[in-house]
Structure 1
C-alpha cells in the first residue's frame, strides 16, 4: 500500500467517524482531502511503516483532545484491509504497520507500469512554455547555461510525467547591442587588431572570424575588402564589412549551440529568434495595445511603460530617446507571443534566468498583470545561482576556447554527459553548486551518479544470475518480503509517486535525484543483506545455532517463493531507477 493509498483509507475512516458521531463536533465539510493528509515514514522504524499527525491537525475542529481523536481513528483503521496494527503515540501521532502482502503490493504495480510508474495526469490540460538556456548567440554556452540545460530539460520531462503539455523553448537574443559587439569583435580579430574593451574574447572569436572569411571566399566574396567604417576614436561602425561578419557568424553560433544541446540530450520544440518580434511588427503592436489601455506615456523624448501601476518599483523606458528599443520592449511582445501564438499557446510561461536577472522579476510581473494575467501563475520566473567547477581542490576557470569561462564542451570533455547532467540537476538551482571533476570522474560510492547507476547495473546482474539459476518471478509469494531490509526498499518504492508529483509542482528536479540516491542506498543495503540466488552457508556460518542460523538461512538460502519474490522486488527497483534517471536525462547502464 502506497502512502497515497493509505491517505485515502485514513480519509474514508475519518468520514465514517464523523457519520457515526465518533469524531466529536468535526463537521462533514472539515474532513480533509486525502491529498492533504500527511503520511510519512517514521524516523524510528520500530514505530511502524507509516505515521500520520492528522488527528492532531483536526482535534481543535473536532472539539476533543488529539489523543482522543487519534484513538478513535486508530480503532477504525485497525479493521481496514492491508493494515496489520495501529498504535497511538505521544500527543496524538498514529503509527501504522501494514501486513507484508499489502506493503509488497507496490511491487506488482511497478512491474505492471514499468518505467512509467509514478506518472500521473494531475497537470493534464495545462500547456507550460518552459524557456531555458537562452544564451546570446555570441559564444559557446558557459557553465551557468549548462546548468539551466540540465535543470530545464529535466524539469520538462518531470512536468510531462505529471500530465502537462510542455513546450521547450530556446530564446535567441539576436537583436540589439550584443550582436553589434559580437560583429565588431569578429572584424577586429579578422584584422588581427585588439578586440574592443566591451567586445567578446577567446580563441573561438578567432575561429569564427576565420570561418567567416573562408565561407565568404567560397561564395566569391572578399570579406576583408568590403567597406569598413571607423570613427575618430577608432571604434568599429556600421558598415558592409561588419554586416558581412554578422550575417554569417550569427548562424554559425546558432549551429554550434544547437549541436551542443543535441550532444547534451536536450531537444527544443521552438528555437525562437528575438529579432522576429521586430521584423513581424509584434513589438509595435504590443506597445500599441498597452497605449490603448492607458499604460504608455511619453517623457524626456522617450516612451515609457507605466509599470508601477502593476507593482513594479519604477516605470520603464521601452523606446529610448534615440529611437532604439530597450530590452523590455521585446520582452513585452515575447510574453504576448507565448500566450497567444497559434500553435500551443501556453497557460503558464516559465522563464529560467541567471542570478544576475533577479531585478528583472518585478518589471516582468508587471507586464503579465498589464495584459490581464496573474503574476506567479501565468508567468513564473525561476532564478538559478552560480556554478563553480573544481579540480584538485581549486576552481577551474580557464577554457582553451572561450577564455576565462568554462563551457558546456569543457565539462562534457572532462566528465561526460551522464555525470554532467546529473551533478547539475541534483542540487536545488536556488543554491550555488560546486562541481568536483575528480569526484564525478571516479567510480566510488561517493560519486552520486555512479552510486545510482551502479544500483541499476547491480539489479541487472541479479537478473542474469537468477535466470541461470532458474528462478522465475511466476513462483513469487510477495507476502514473504517480510525482513527489515525488504521493508525499507518497499517503503522507498511506495514513496516515488508522491516525490514525482512534488518535483513537478515545486519545479524541483533535484528531488528526483535525491530520491534515487535514497532508493539506491536502500537497495545496496538490501543486496548485501538478502539473496535472490541461494548461496550455500560456509563452515563458520554452519557453527551458528538456532534462531541465528535460521535467520541466516532465510537471508542467504531462501526457498523458491521467497527467492522469486525478491527477484520481483529487485526488478521493481530496476524499473524505478531507470525511470527516474530517464527523467534526468541520464542513462541506466546494465553493466558497469
Structure 2
C-alpha cells in the first residue's frame, strides 16, 4: 500500500517540479508516515512543505496542485485532505487493504524481502571478545545484535559476511598464559602468591586441572619464561574453542575468524604505518611514532609505535581495517561494547587517512546489560567475584528468550535482563508473548482441520472472498502486516535490529486483542474463510520476523 501511494505521489509532483523549473534537479524524496491520530488518515506526507523552498510558493497551494495532478486508482483512495500548513492526509478505501493479505500469501517466506542493498558487500564484525575468558552476558547482547543485523541486511539485498576478530596477540595473552602457569603450579601443590591484574576466574582453575591431567608434572618448577608460549597457546585455544561452542549454541555463526597474529606474521601493521607515512600522517616525537588523527577531527594525535618499538593496539586495528577494505567490502560495520566509545573518533580518522569515507565504517556501540533475578541485581565482575557467563544464561533461560530479550531495546540503551522474567510463561515475558501468538495461530488451523473446515487456498486453491473483513481491528492488523517490509527497510538503513521486536510486540498485541473479542471459526462460512486467511498471513509474518531474530516459531506451547 505504501508503495502504491508513493507511486501516485511521485507521478503527481513531476509536472509541478517541471513547471517550477526543477526539471534538471532531483525533486525532494517523497516520504510517508502513519499519523499518530487515526482521524488524520492512514498515511500523511509533508512533500508540499519540502517543495516550498525550491518552488518559492505557499505549501498549501502546492498541496492543492499535487492533489489535482494525482491519478486516483478506483477503489484505492477514498479522499485526500490538506491539513495545517500543507500536509497531505490520505484515507484508504477499506477494501483496498485486502490486497496486502494477498501479497503476504503470494510471497510467503519471502515476504518483506527487498533489494535496497543492490548486492553491496557489507562486513559485520561483532563479539570479537579476547580469548582470555568465557563470553559473558554483555557479549551475548553484542552477538545477538550483530547476528540479527547481518540477517536483516542480507534479507534486504546486501551481500553480507560475518566476522570475528580474535585478539590473540599482545599483553593480555601473556597475562593469560601466566595466570594458567601459576594455577598449574598451585594444582601441583606449590604455594603461589597470585599476582594482581591476572585472571582469577574459576575457568583458569579448571584449565589448570585439565592441563595437570594431560601433562602431569612435566612443567613442574620449570621457569615461566621457558614455557609461557605453551601455556598461553593452551589457554587461548581452549577458551576460543569454548567461545565457538557457546556462539554455536546461541545460534550465531561466522563466515570468517580473523586472527590478530596474522597481521603480525604478514607484516601488515608495518605496511600500514608506511602507507600513512607516505601520506604524511605519521610523525616522530620523543622516540614514538604518532598518527596525526587531529587532522580528521580527533581530540588528540595517537601513538602507533611506542618508544620501545612495540606497536599499539590502535596500530593493529588500523592494519586490520585496511585489510578489510582491501578485501572489497563497500561498508564495514563494527559492533563494540559501550566502553569503547572513546575509540570511535580515532578509528574514523584512521579510515579517512587510509583513503576511505567516514561513512564506509559504521560503529555500533552496545550498552551494558544489567542482570537481575526477580528484580534484584546479580553481581558481576570481570576477573574476580561472581562471573555470569553467556553459557549459564542460555542454560537457564534458553536461546530464544536470551536472543529476543537482548533485542527489546536499542543497542545504545542499557538493558535490564531479568532471569526470572525470561523463564515465565506469561505475557510479562516478551518472547513468550510473541511465540504464544504464533502457536495460537497454528492451533486455530489444527482445530479447523479437526472440524473439517476447508482451506483449499493453503494448497494453491483460489483465495477466499475478503470482503467480510471490515472490522477496524481487522483492518488495523492488515495495515500492520503491510508495514512489515518498511520495518525491515528502516532497520537495515538505520542498523537498528530492535525495530523488529518492537514491531512484533505491537502486531501481537493487536492480534491477541482481536482474538479475545472475535471468533475466527464461526458460523458464517465466508467470514470464517476470510478470517482464516488473515490468520494465515499473520502466521507467515510472525514466522518470518522470528526467523530473522534467530528465534523459533513454535507450533505448540
- Output the TM-score relative to the length of structure 1: 0.87
Tell me the SS of whatever aligns to 1:254. helix
Residue 72 (structure 1) shift: 4.1
> For the Cα contact (< 8 Å) 2:64–2:82, is it kept in 1?
no
1:480 equivalent in structure 2: 468
| Correspondence 1:130 to 2:124 | yes
1:340 equivalent in structure 2: 326
> For the Cα contact (< 8 Å) 2:12–2:71, is it kept in 1?
no
| Correspondence 1:573 to 2:538 | yes
2:189 equivalent in structure 1: none
Q: C-alpha separation between the residues in 2 aligned to 1:482 and 1:393?
A: 43
2:175 equivalent in structure 1: 181
1:368 equivalent in structure 2: 351
2:490 equivalent in structure 1: 502
> For the Cα contact (< 8 Å) 2:334–2:363, is it kept in 1?
yes
Q: Cα–Cα, structure 1 residues 447 and 180, in superposed 2: closer, same or farther, change >3 Å?
A: same
Deviations 1:420-442 (A, max 9, x none): 00111221011111112222211
Q: Cα–Cα, structure 1 residues 199 and 18, in superposed 2: closer, same or farther, change >3 Å?
A: closer
Tell me the SS of whatever aligns to 1:478. coil
Structure 1 alignment gaps of length 5 or more: 230-238, 535-556
Tell me the SS of whatever aligns to 1:224. coil
| Correspondence 1:445 to 2:427 | yes
| Correspondence 1:51 to 2:16 | no
Q: C-alpha separation between the residues in 2 aligned to 1:505 and 1:155?
A: 10
> For the Cα contact (< 8 Å) 2:200–2:383, is it kept in 1?
no
Which residue among 98, 102, 127 is the counterpart of 2:92? 98
> For the Cα contact (< 8 Å) 1:489–1:523, is it kept in 2?
yes
Which shifted more, 252-261 or 95-104? 95-104
Residue 130 (structure 1) shift: 0.9
1:233 equivalent in structure 2: none
Residue 303 (structure 1) shift: 2.4
Which shifted more, 50-59 or 172-181? 50-59
> For the Cα contact (< 8 Å) 1:204–1:401, is it kept in 2?
no
Deviations 1:291-330 (A, max 9, x none): 2333223222222223333332222222212222211121
1:378 equivalent in structure 2: 360
Residue 406 (structure 1) shift: 2.1
Q: Cα–Cα, structure 1 residues 78 and 301, in superposed 2: closer, same or farther, change >3 Å?
A: closer
2:105 equivalent in structure 1: 111
1:31-50 pair list within 5 angstroms: 32=27, 36-50=29-43
> For the Cα contact (< 8 Å) 2:8–2:71, is it kept in 1?
no
Which residue among 525, 532, 541 is the counterpart of 1:560? 525
Residue 141 (structure 1) shift: 0.6
Q: C-alpha separation between the residues in 1 aligned to 2:157 and 2:71?
A: 35
> For the Cα contact (< 8 Å) 1:11–1:32, is it kept in 2?
no
Aligned length: 545
| Correspondence 1:419 to 2:405 | no
Structure 2 alignment gaps of length 5 or more: 187-191
| Correspondence 1:155 to 2:149 | yes
1:140-539 pair list within 5 angstroms: 140-192=134-186, 193-217=192-216, 222-225=217-220, 227-229=222-224, 239-341=225-327, 345-375=328-358, 377-398=359-380, 403-469=385-451, 470-472=453-455, 473=457, 474=462, 476-534=464-522
2:550 equivalent in structure 1: 585
Q: Cα–Cα, structure 1 residues 47 and 140, in superposed 2: closer, same or farther, change >3 Å?
A: same
Q: Cα–Cα, structure 1 residues 40 and 314, in superposed 2: closer, same or farther, change >3 Å?
A: closer
Q: Cα–Cα, structure 1 residues 517 and 402, in superposed 2: closer, same or farther, change >3 Å?
A: farther
Residue 339 (structure 1) shift: 1.1
Residue 210 (structure 1) shift: 1.5
Q: Cα–Cα, structure 1 residues 365 and 400, in superposed 2: closer, same or farther, change >3 Å?
A: closer
Q: C-alpha separation between the residues in 2 aligned to 1:30 and 1:80?
A: 28
Deviations 1:212-253 (A, max 9, x none): 232335xxxx44336214xxxxxxxxx123222112111101
Deviations 1:442-489 (A, max 9, x none): 122222111111111111112222233323243511233221011110
Deviations 1:476-511 (A, max 9, x none): 112332210111101101111111011011110001
Q: C-alpha separation between the residues in 2 aligned to 1:298 and 1:42?
A: 58
> For the Cα contact (< 8 Å) 1:388–1:433, is it kept in 2?
yes
Residue 9 (structure 1) shift: 1.5
Q: C-alpha separation between the residues in 1 aligned to 2:527 and 2:548?
A: 32
Residue 395 (structure 1) shift: 0.6
Tell me the SS of whatever aligns to 1:191. helix
Q: Cα–Cα, structure 1 residues 64 and 529, in superposed 2: closer, same or farther, change >3 Å?
A: farther
Q: Cα–Cα, structure 1 residues 403 and 115, in superposed 2: closer, same or farther, change >3 Å?
A: farther
Residue 5 (structure 1) shift: 2.2
Tell me the SS of whatever aligns to 2:261. helix
Q: Cα–Cα, structure 1 residues 26 and 305, in superposed 2: closer, same or farther, change >3 Å?
A: closer
Q: Cα–Cα, structure 1 residues 295 and 73, in superposed 2: closer, same or farther, change >3 Å?
A: closer
Q: Cα–Cα, structure 1 residues 78 and 99, in superposed 2: closer, same or farther, change >3 Å?
A: farther
Q: Cα–Cα, structure 1 residues 88 and 29, in superposed 2: closer, same or farther, change >3 Å?
A: farther
1:542 equivalent in structure 2: none
Tell me the SS of whatever aligns to 2:467. helix
Q: Cα–Cα, structure 1 residues 528 and 315, in superposed 2: closer, same or farther, change >3 Å?
A: same
Which shifted more, 45-54 or 489-498? 45-54
